[in-house]
Structure 1
Amino acid sequence: MDEYDIRILRILKQDGRISVQTLSDQVGLSSSPVARRLARLEQSGVVSAYSALIDEARLGFSVSVFVSVKLDQQVDDALTEFESAIHKMDEVVDCWLMTGNRDYLMRVVTRDMAEFEQFLVGKLTKLAPVAGIESSIPLRCVKSNGARTP
């Protein structure tokens, strides 16, 4: 990657819907080389997808909770069972397999605390491999940068 590729990535990070012509104007190259570079970045997987950033609170989802989960066993069957169940839960918007004293870290989004309680008691604690849960409620987002670029 050279400085033009880095410029392309930084501009795309701010506006994924930008036209190739506008992108080329901002990068300082003609449209054809920018289109080729963009196609190469997509084919190599550096640009893996395009999406819209959605304001969850404006859709009525005002509660976001970070939930750490400890499984009773760290064996393939338990991991597979837990991950399969999590994929079916709309409330879980992000989930990471972790190192350290907890096995998973999730971001759970609900309309209110009552809905979070229903999720916690009615779904998450009922999963067989779950041995422990720790929840943290963020007060405000200090920084959200999407992806890191060079």
Structure 2
Amino acid sequence: MLDHTDLAIISLLKTNCKMRFSDMGELVHLTGQAVSSRIARLEKEGIIRGYSVLLDETQLGKTITAYVTVFMKTTNHRNFHVFIKNQDSVREASRISGEGCYWLKLSVGSETELNHFLDEILQFGNYRVNLCIDKIK
């Protein structure tokens, strides 16, 4: 079971996973070593599965964010999964219910790159594309 201290540590990690354990400890009233032990336990239990880096894609030349809904034309989704996992432009991929089968979030550097990706999707099914015009959160 998670207690309030565990939840506070998780919140701090979500804000800044590079924060020193001693600094976290001051905020949650523990020693840095106690914070380290709690984090190790949360990792071992699979509550914390990993850490990530948030990038400003525009500074990396990826100026277009596209949301693609994929409508599969086959029931063999394994090849599609392999394809998606090998695409650097795919930032998120989810199997969805409702309208469509999959939802993809892409970051690409040009309309040409987006069109190339969409052409490749056609081997698996049809798609609908929405472009991001402003990121709010």
- Asked if residue 43 in structure 1 is aligned to residue 59 in structure 2, the reply is no
CA distance in 1, matches of 2:80, 2:113: 21
Q: In the aligned structure 2, how far is the partner of 1:90 from the partner of 1:30?
A: 40
Unaligned runs of 5+ in 2: none
Structure showing greater relative contact order (alpha-carbon pairs closer than 8 Å, 6 or more residues apart): 1
> Are 1:19 and 2:13 matched, yes or no?
no
Share of identical aligned residues, percent? 24
CA shift at 1:69, angstroms?
0.3
Give a deviation string over 1:50-98, Cα, whole Å, max 9, x none.
121111000110001000001113x3xx211111111122121211011
Residue identity in the other structure for 1:141: K
Cα deviation for residue 44 of structure 1 reads 1.1
1:1-150 correspondence runs (5 A): 1-73=2-74, 75=75, 78-121=76-119, 123-125=120-122, 127=123, 129-130=124-125, 132-143=126-137
Aligned length: 136
- Let me know the Cα RMSD of the aligned residues: 1.2
Q: Judge which range, 87-96 or 56-65, deviates more.
A: 87-96
Query: How high is the TM-score relative to the length of structure 1?
Result: 0.85
Alpha-carbon distance between aligned partners in 1 of 2:86 and 2:63, rounded to the nearest angstrom = 21
What SS is found at the alignment partner of 1:139?
A: coil
TM score, norm. by length of structure 2: 0.92
